[in-house]
């Protein structure tokens, strides 16, 4: 059967993160902070919008029901489903929408924060796959198919100047930049070095308030920061944590949560005296917890009370 009808496409994936660079052999696109989706669009048919697990997300974004009318021919597009909030893409808002089940609440939220789909690649045109074309050939093909508006548009890119785009993304508080080789082909589900990312990360100083032993010999640290004199829960960090390395520091077990109210999701926690400061690297977020947090080490030059909650989060 035709792949347009069977669905189930697994998108090509970014292989790794690198430091920003310039090259005439690559193009650079702003990395949108949304949900990766495959759009199956037929101008005389319907819209079908699926995430990486092949779940149909259209019921969660009914405002995009008619975007199939914005393409000139039957096609399959690879892109990002996102929601703008205060002028920037908001991952938590689109994630919240994707988890909604109540049609009435979905309708209300869609009116307040409408979703959009940005296509950055084309996989199928009319009746055949176009994966063997180079990226630049596919980009050219894509530009001749989409009739853009606020709901469906194409990702813009620049050539050569990856460092400048990354610095601009950093200044705007965006997630980062994706670099793609101009001659790259498209491979279903493959994690390829022809697509890489430059991610904007932030670091903050936090207090280790406890830890939780997890599966596969992993340990999750419970983090806090002060708001004035009050200790505030800031979530967990697991990546980069080695409890064996931490044991060289003085970890005083108290058995009592240092927070005014024990935060949910911390069953089985080993609570510590909140006196050890660590560095946490994470994606920028408006929420009072970290996203994609990575443990970067201990700070001995800062007191716990100096770890104050940022007022701009």
**Predicted pLDDT of residue 17:** 84
Q: How far is CA 155 from CA 42, 61, 77, 139, 146, in A?
A: 20, 20, 12, 9, 11
Do 219 and 238 touch, CB atoms closer than 8 A? Answer: yes
Angle made by CA atoms 26, 21, 29, in degrees to the nearest 5 = 50
Place of tokens 């609440």: 105
Tens-digit pLDDT profile for residues 39-96 = 999 999 999 999 998 999 999 999 999 999 999 999 999 999 999 988 888 887 898 8
Domains present along the chain, CATH in parentheses: 18-199 (3.30.470.30), 202-306 (2.40.50.140)
The encoded tokens of residue 63 equal 């405002």
Alpha-carbon Rg for the chain, nearest whole angstrom, is 22
As a whole number of Å, the end-to-end CA separation of the chain is 50
Nearest Cα neighbor of 304 from 245, 243, 252, 241 is 252
Do 226 and 307 touch, CB atoms closer than 8 A? Answer: yes
**Predicted pLDDT of residue 149:** 95
At residue 165, the 3 state secondary structure works out as helix
Backbone angles phi, psi at 223, to 5 degrees: -110, 150
**Predicted pLDDT of residue 313:** 44
**Predicted pLDDT of residue 185:** 98
**Predicted pLDDT of residue 288:** 64
**Predicted pLDDT of residue 172:** 86
**Predicted pLDDT of residue 90:** 85
Beta bridge partners of 311: none
Intervals of the chain under pLDDT 50: 313
**Predicted pLDDT of residue 27:** 98
Dihedral sign, Cα of residue 184, residue 139, residue 157, residue 17:
negative
Tens-digit pLDDT profile for residues 180-212 = 999 999 999 998 999 999 988 788 999 999 999
The encoded tokens of residue 16 equal 């790794």
Q: Ramachandran region of residue 162, left (φ > 0), alpha (ψ -120 to 50) or beta?
A: alpha
Residue 127 DSSP label: T
């Amino acid at each position: 059967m035709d792949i347009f009808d069977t669905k189930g496409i697994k998108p090509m994936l970014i292989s790794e993160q690198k430091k920003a660079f310039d090259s005439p052999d690559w193009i650079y696109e702003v990395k949108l902070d949304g949900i990766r989706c495959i759009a199956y669009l037929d101008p005389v048919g319907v819209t079908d919008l699926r995430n990486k697990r092949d779940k149909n997300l259209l019921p969660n974004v009914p405002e995009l029901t008619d975007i199939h009318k914005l393409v000139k021919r039957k096609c399959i597009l690879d892109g990002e489903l996102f929601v703008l909030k205060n002028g920037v893409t908001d991952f938590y808002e689109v994630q919240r929408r994707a988890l909604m089940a109540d049609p009435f609440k979905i309708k209300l939220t869609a009116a307040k924060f409408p979703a959009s789909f940005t296509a950055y690649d084309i996989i199928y045109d009319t009746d055949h796959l176009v994966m063997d074309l180079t990226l630049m050939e596919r980009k050219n093909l894509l530009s001749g198919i989409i009739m853009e508006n606020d709901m469906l548009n194409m990702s813009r890119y620049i050539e050569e100047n990856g460092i400048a785009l990354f610095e601009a993304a950093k200044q705007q508080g965006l997630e980062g930049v994706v670099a793609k080789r101009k001659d790259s082909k498209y491979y279903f589900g493959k994690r390829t070095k022809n697509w890489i990312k430059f991610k904007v990360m932030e670091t903050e100083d936090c207090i280790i308030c406890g830890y939780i032993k997890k599966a596969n010999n992993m340990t999750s640290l419970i983090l806090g920061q002060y708001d004035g004199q009050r200790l505030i829960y800031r979530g967990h960090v697991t990546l980069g944590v080695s409890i064996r390395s931490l044991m060289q520091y003085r970890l005083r077990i108290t058995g009592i949560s240092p927070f005014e109210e024990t935060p949910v999701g911390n069953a089985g926690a080993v609570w510590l005296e909140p006196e050890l400061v660590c560095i946490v690297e994470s994606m920028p977020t408006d929420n009072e917890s970290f996203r994609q947090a990575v443990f970067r080490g201990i700070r001995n030059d800062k007191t716990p009370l100096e770890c104050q909650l940022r007022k701009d989060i």
